[in-house]
Amino acid sequence: MKRKLKEELVKMSTDIITSKSLNEITELYEASKNLYEKLAVLKFIEEELNDVEVDVSKNVIAAKFEKMANAVLNVDSSVPESNPHEEDIIIPGMQTIKEMVSEMPNDAALEEVLAKFMAKP
């Protein structure tokens, strides 16, 4: 990463020195600001990280993400995929439905109730 950063710094400084289009103060200011920011990052890396190679390639990031995802999946392995007490829930529910059906009026009584309801203005 340091090598790449140094290459960018050399390119940016060369562009600033050799460019004829940087006549405006705003353009020169922006180019030098970008150069300064990159220099600050390089200085921090050299002083604080003490030659620790920082790798931000996609493979390393993908590997770290995969490792974290596997850790999350392994932690959740204690949660069962299905409910072991499913019958305890279904049987009372079915019993309630059967009771409701048995309490329903027969067809003749239902027709009579509906006819009275529909006849009222």
* Per-10-residue mean pLDDT, the chain, length 121: 80 80 76 87 80 62 82 67 70 82 80 82 62
Task: Determine the Cα–Cα distance for residues 94 and 92; give it in Å rounded to an integer.
Answer: 5
Q: What is the pLDDT of residue 19?
A: 74
Taking only Cα atoms into account, the Rg of the chain, rounded to an integer number of angstroms, comes to 37
pLDDT tens for 46-65 read 887 765 555 556 777 788 88
88-109: string of b/e by CB count within 10 Å (b at 16+)? eeeeeeeeeeeeeeeeeeeeee
pTM above 0.75, yes or no: no
Q: Pull the structure tokens for residue 66.
A: 């995969």
